[in-house]
A and B are shown apart, each in its own frame.
Chain A
Amino acid sequence: MVKIYVVDNGGQWTHREWRTLKYLDVDTKIVPNTTSFKELAEEKINGLVLSGGAPRIGLKSELGNCAEYLEKAGFPIMGICAGHQFMARHYGGEAKPSKVPEFGKVELRLLKEGDSLFEGVPKKSIVWESHNDEVTLIPKDFEQLAKSEDCEIQAMRHKKKPVYGLQFHPEVEHTEYGAQIFKNFVKICEK
């Protein structure tokens, strides 16, 4: 059984991430973001989800030990919302308050076909959002995978390793292909 933990950054939907993984028969657990990397490594996890949360990454807030996970992990990581913004900042990009924050229903447009995280997701689909900040400069080791009308960097991935950032929320029911994206992430972690 593949083991993927959810790092709790204080999101409203952290527990939904846990539920989505559980429904995919993943061995999963919610851990506080103060957990050390050593503790995570000892659990022999195959992947990690960095949840969203109330901290304002665009206003320079920190996100517990997320930096340490990103530095040391040899396993796939998927950052969501604040987790995604923090990831961008960590790798040398930037996150700032959104000119037009997005809440609720948004149309997501994929820019690149064939990435394994978006397998089975059509070029345009409905996703659910809830963010005040966003990634304004993508790190140079990353490529952009998706955008929306009001937010350029809706999804990105590291060019060399399976490290993903998503501004939208694949864990909620109203995101059309959310469960599919999680399924794909689980597959990536199984490799």
Chain B
Amino acid sequence: MFDAENFIEETVEKIKEEVPGRTLIAFSGGVDSTVCTALVNKAIGDQLIAVNVDTGYMRKNEPETIKKLMDEMKLNYRFIDASDKYYKALKGVKDPEKKRKIIGELFIRLFEKVADDEKIEYLVQGTIAPDWIESGGGLRDTIKSHHNVGGLPENMNLKLVEPLRDLYKDEVRKVARILKLSVSEKQPFPGPGLAIRILGEATPKRTEIVREACDIVEKEIEIAAEKENMELPWQYFAVLIPTKSVGVHGDKRAYGSVVAVRAVQSIDAMTCSFSKIPVNVIDRISNRITNTLGDEINRVVYDVTNKPPGTVEWE
């Protein structure tokens, strides 16, 4: 079995060797980067600067929640609002791989700027096994370029340190529980954020739509799971499909986009089965999305694909 305590001990020692001085850490507030931060903190203490980037593709209230978390953890941190930069960089970009690569590169350029200012050479990332596996390379096909691996630019000056490379999410959570981190059970959220939950161009307007839809899906499912109507899925969210379909709103023709509801059960993200959300919960989600986003969305579909053949996110 996986021995989390042993892993913590060994990894702290390894970080001490690998990171001789001050380092940056790419901090998203998710379980991987938070565990990484706690481990680096144990190893080298206050030599660490956490950098959090608001890409503009965050979930509702997420930047505030993350700032609070960084305060709670008493981190020395830099918060960068780069929304405008991201929206500009992704203008007109529709291809999912291009989106991922642009986002990945921009992250690094922002980190490099902080590193230059602070005269720091190292960057710690919470990369875990599925990130590098799916990013491909050599014999392995590229399924999707994870922003922190396949999305890295070829020319970068920072030296990467990735203490969680051989771990999967279930193992990272075990480490998080031992470290008593409040985020230990938080659902995964991809680095490229909502940009890859919008098929096609990730415009600010579409981002608002998918942000609202994701919020509805999250809240309704969390309420249902709390009332024991269902098991909390491993990951659950909404996807915006900007293909239009015909509807009827108040005796008038409507012609709006589609939202897909996605929820999966998994242990490690390498295989997943779609969650069997109770029909009454799906019903509420559908109603709330179409009523809240009536001008834009008049159809909700439920994704019933396992992985394989699908992946969790649509892009």
Spell out A's residues near B (CB within 8 Å): 8-16, 19, 23, 32-33, 53-55, 103-105, 128-130, 172-174
Contacts and interface: CB of A to CB of B under 8 A. Distances in A.
Given A23-B1, A104-B306, A174-B273, A16 B139 contact: no
B154 interface: no
Contacts of A32: 138
Contacts of B139: 8-10, 33, 53-55
Contacts of B1: 23
B307 A104 contact: yes
A173 B270 contact: yes
B271 interface: yes
Interface in B261-283: 266-268, 270-273
Contacts of A103: 306, 308-309
A129 B308 CA distance: 8
Interface of B: 1-2, 129, 133-134, 138-141, 143, 166, 168, 266-268, 270-273, 306-309
Q: Chain B interface secondary structure, helix, strand, loop or mixed?
A: loop
A16 B268 contact: yes
B256 to A, nearest CB: 31
A13 B97 CA distance: 22
A23 B267 CA distance: 15
A173 B140 contact: no
Contact of A105 (B2, B141, B268, B273): B273
Contacts of B272: 174
Contacts of A11: 140
Nearest to B166: A15
A187 B153 CA distance: 45
Most buried by A among B168, B268, B308: B308
Contacts of B307: 104
A33 B270 CA distance: 22
B128 to A, nearest CB: 11
A42 B5 CA distance: 33
Given A12-B143, A54-B139, A104-B271, 15 more contacts: A11-B140, A12-B270, A14-B133, A23-B1, A54-B140, A54-B141, A103-B309, A104-B306, A104-B307, A104-B308, A104-B309, A172-B271, A173-B267, A173-B268, A174-B272
